[in-house]
């Protein structure tokens, strides 16, 4: 979906891509909402994923062209807020709907909201240019399918143990790497200066966050004895500080200060993960340090994550914004899949020891901080 959306945005304009994404997402919700079998439910979820991938690219490109470049930091701060609020309200609302009306109501309620979202979004995107008009290069879809296959193998590796897990991990990593060479800008995997490093950094920091977030509830509930509600509050605190960090970066006007946000934000995220680890290393330290560290992680990513989006649009010619945005989100997905699969190999279910997983996340965030000057040329 992300690769196809990049092609559509550049060559036909984001309006058509938005229509396709909305149609796929709505169809997926309806198929899932009325599903009478598990296969139908899986099909519905697949269509939702396709639509989400298309819309993610389209929103970046459409908003990037409608909003003046000077306002891009504020725009991506709003994007962060638009993610946090549903993330906080959504689980409670979904729980209410399931208890009151059954699980189908969750999908159907979201489907009812799609026309409202379309009415708000499409008029603005329609005013954007119609693209270059060049022929679509559908050959790239073969590599996108290969990347999807690699991601599926990486996910399967995280569900296995022993030799099988290692073999699946190696095969998935190989497929994803081959596809990445074809789908990402030249020099991405070696952190070439400018746009390639921007895209690589997105993968690193997204993977650091996804890996640590996935294992944080287990750490809090199994190791420190927190309730699920308390663990959920801790996760929500990180989401709130992510939004806060995004708002702070939007208010920084000085170019010199903005250039420091990227390495500083990544360094703060790495330090936050390190603080999360400290009660595991020294048992005498209080468990609430995990919450302090996680708040720092959210703040650090909030300061730096929007900067990557701003830099991507700034460094991309208009007729390449779609393909580069799809590359950004593809790097996010592939590196996160690889990191989560690697975390699954590092995690020992017998001891429930998450320290190696958190160390992996910390190294990824620290590497992002070290490489970030290359994104700023």
Could you report the per-residue pLDDT of 34-64, keeping only the tens digit for each? Answer: 888 888 888 888 888 888 888 888 888 877 7
pLDDT for the residue numbered 136: 58
> Which range, 40-49, 86-95, 254-263, has the best average confidence (pLDDT)?
40-49
pLDDT for the residue numbered 154: 81
Confidence check: pLDDT of 282 > 70? yes
pLDDT for the residue numbered 351: 62
Confidence check: pLDDT of 132 > 60? no
pLDDT digits (tens, 9 = 90+) for 144-199: 778 888 888 887 877 777 788 788 888 888 888 888 888 888 888 888 888 899 99
- Is the domain 184-374 a CATH 1.20.1250.20 member? yes
Residue that is written with structure tokens 């699980």 in the block? 103
Look at 6-10, 112-116, 263-267, 370-374 and tell me which has the smallest mean pLDDT. Answer: 6-10
Distance between CA atoms of residues 308 and 315, nearest Å: 10
Q: What is the mean pLDDT of residues 272-278?
A: 91
Distance between CA atoms of residues 196 and 261, nearest Å: 19
Q: List C-alpha distances in Å: 363 to 151, 239, 306, 360.
A: 22, 21, 21, 5
pTM of the model: 0.83
pLDDT for the residue numbered 199: 92
Sequence-ordered alpha helix ranges (H) in 282-350: 288-315, 321-346
Q: Take residue 67 and report the two structure tokens written for it.
A: 């909003």
Rg over alpha carbons for the chain, rounded to the nearest Å, is: 21
Spacing of C-alpha 347 from chain mean position = 22
Which of 339, 259, 333 has its CA nearest to residue 303? 259
pLDDT for the residue numbered 350: 59
- Mean confidence (pLDDT) of the chain: 83
pLDDT digits (tens, 9 = 90+) for 228-237: 777 777 888 8
Per domain, the residue ranges of the chain are 2-126, 139-182, 184-374
Q: Take residue 181 and report the two structure tokens written for it.
A: 């060479």
Distance between CA atoms of residues 270 and 283, nearest Å: 21
pLDDT for the residue numbered 1: 66
Burial class (CB in 10 A: 0-12, 13-18, 19+), 321: buried
């Amino acid at each position: 979906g992300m690769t196809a959306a990049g092609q559509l945005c550049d060559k036909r304009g984001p309006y058509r891509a938005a229509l396709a994404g909305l149609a796929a997402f709505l169809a997926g919700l309806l198929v899932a909402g009325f599903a009478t079998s598990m296969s139908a439910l899986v099909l519905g979820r697949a269509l939702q994923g396709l639509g989400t991938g298309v819309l993610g690219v389209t929103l970046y490109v459409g908003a990037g062209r409608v909003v003046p470049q000077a306002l891009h930091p504020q725009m991506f701060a709003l994007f962060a807020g638009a993610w946090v609020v549903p993330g906080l309200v959504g689980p409670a609302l979904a729980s209410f709907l399931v208890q009151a009306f059954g699980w189908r109501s969750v999908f159907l309620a979201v489907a009812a909201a799609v026309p409202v979202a379309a009415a708000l979004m499409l008029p603005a995107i329609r005013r954007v240019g119609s693209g270059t008009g060049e022929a679509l290069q559908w050959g790239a879809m073969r590599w996108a399918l290969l990347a999807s296959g690699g991601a599926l193998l990486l996910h399967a590796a995280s569900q296995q143990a022993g030799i099988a897990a290692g073999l699946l991990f190696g095969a998935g990593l190989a497929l994803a790497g081959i596809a990445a060479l074809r789908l990402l800008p030249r020099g991405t995997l070696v952190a070439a200066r400018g746009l390639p490093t921007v895209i690589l950094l997105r993968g690193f920091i997204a993977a650091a966050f996804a890996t640590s977030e996935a294992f944080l509830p287990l750490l809090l509930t199994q190791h420190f004895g927190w309730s699920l509600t308390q663990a959920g509050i801790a996760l929500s605190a990180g989401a709130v500080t992510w939004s806060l960090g995004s708002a702070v970066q939007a208010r920084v006007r000085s170019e010199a200060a903005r250039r420091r946000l990227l390495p500083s934000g990544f360094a703060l995220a790495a330090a936050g993960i390190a603080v999360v680890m400290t009660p595991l290393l020294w048992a005498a330290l209080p468990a609430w340090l995990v919450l302090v560290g996680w708040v720092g992680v959210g703040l650090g990513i909030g300061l730096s994550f929007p900067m990557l989006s701003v830099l991507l649009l700034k460094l991309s010619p208009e007729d390449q914004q779609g393909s580069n945005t799809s590359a950004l989100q593809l790097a996010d997905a592939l590196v996160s899949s690889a990191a989560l699969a690697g975390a699954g190999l590092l995690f020992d279910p017998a001891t429930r020891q998450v320290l190696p997983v958190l160390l992996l996340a910390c190294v990824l965030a620290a590497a992002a901080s070290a490489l970030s000057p290359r994104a700023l040329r």
